[in-house]
Amino acid sequence: MDIKQTVREGYAKAAQETDGCAGTPSETVGYGEADLAAVPEGTPSFGCGNPTAIAGLQTGETVLDLGSGAGFDCFLAAPAVGSTGRVIGVDMTPEMIDKARKNAAQAGHDNVEFRLGDIENLPIESGSVDAVISNCVINLAPDKGKVFAEAFRVLRPGGRMHVSDLVLGQEPPEWLFEDDAALIGCVGGALPRDEYLALIAAAGFTGVTVNAEHDATAWLNGYLEQGAEGGSECECGCCGTACSLPDGLVASLTITAHKPAA
Ligand SMILES: C[S@@+](CC[C@H](N)C(=O)[O-])C[C@H]1O[C@@H](n2cnc3c(N)ncnc32)[C@H](O)[C@@H]1O
């Protein structure tokens, strides 16, 4: 099946459930109690970091969340930009957009909107955004260079991008590229760390900085074992422990980058 279709189906299913991208409780990826209390009840996080925490959002700013899922990070950004600001979440999975819109309505967030769209071809005007955020999404896109080019296009000159995502710290086992659970779990499509950072710079961003980095292998193993027991297409011989990823294989990075001022 087409990569995007596999990802879309995986997240349509996840929208009905409460577990995160790789089964990670939100607290362990950098959300504090205040963050968790600020989002509407029943909004799951599918993230692997907390890019909003370092975004330095100001009243009146326009924020774009690439792959907004159920809206978790948008709901953190909404009070920071206030009623004169705007938060736009873009996601390609209709079930996620529905869930996010319901969560926004329930919480009365009228400065947040969700648009159905592909982050490789953003439904957003050029030069209209102050800050792009994204949490554990770009690894899922087949053309990551295009995503960064689109983020660069929609930012105003002097705007910034804050991204949390999974990258590879070493050569992965072959089966990882064939396994749908690994793809949906944000590791099957992940790039080597340096390649990922180089793509951001190649899109025109400057000051590309890794703000936080932690090993994510253990919780991904937990997710993959669950997936295998649930009947994933695990091709590694004996599912379960045989699917385990080697220590140090996957890292979660939180990155800041800037679009130069004109
Ligand atoms: C791991 S979840 C992260 C959701 C959210 N950022 C969070 O932290 O809760 C990945 C999300 O990215 C969306 N997604 C994946 N590829 C996409 C693409 N090419 N364009 C738009 N959305 C995409 C999926 O539909 C899913 O909702």
CB neighbourhood size of 215 (10 A): 14
Encoded amino acid at 66, one letter: L
Task: State the pLDDT at residue 131.
Answer: 98
Task: State the pLDDT at residue 243.
Answer: 60
Residues recorded for the chain: 262
pTM, to two decimals: 0.92
What domains, with CATH codes, occur in the chain?
Answer: 3-258 (3.40.50.150)
d(CA 62, CA 132): 9
pLDDT by residue (tens digit) across 130-161? 999 999 999 999 999 999 999 999 999 999 99
Pocket test for ligand 1, best of 4, 11, 223 (most atoms within 8 A of CB): 11
Which residues does the chain have with pLDDT short of 50? 19-25, 229-242
**Cα Rg, the chain, nearest whole Å:** 17
Centre of ligand 1 to C-alpha 212, Å, is 21
140 lines ligand 1 (CB under 6 A): yes
Task: List, in sequence order, every beta strand (DSSP E) within the chain.
Answer: 62-66, 86-91, 112-116, 129-135, 155-168, 206-215, 250-258
Task: State the pLDDT at residue 150.
Answer: 98
Residue 166 in contact with residue 137, Cβ under 8 Å?
Answer: no
Residue 199 in contact with residue 242, Cβ under 8 Å?
Answer: no
Residue 157 in contact with residue 127, Cβ under 8 Å?
Answer: yes
Ligand 1, atom 20: closest residue by C-alpha? 118
pLDDT by residue (tens digit) across 166-191? 999 998 888 888 888 889 988 899 99
Q: Which atom of ligand 1 is nearest to the CA of 120?
A: 19
Burial readout 231-246 (b: 16 or more C-beta within 10 A, e: otherwise): ebebbbeebeeebbbe
Q: Which atom of ligand 1 is nearest to the CA of 147?
A: 19
Residue 72 in contact with residue 38, Cβ under 8 Å?
Answer: no
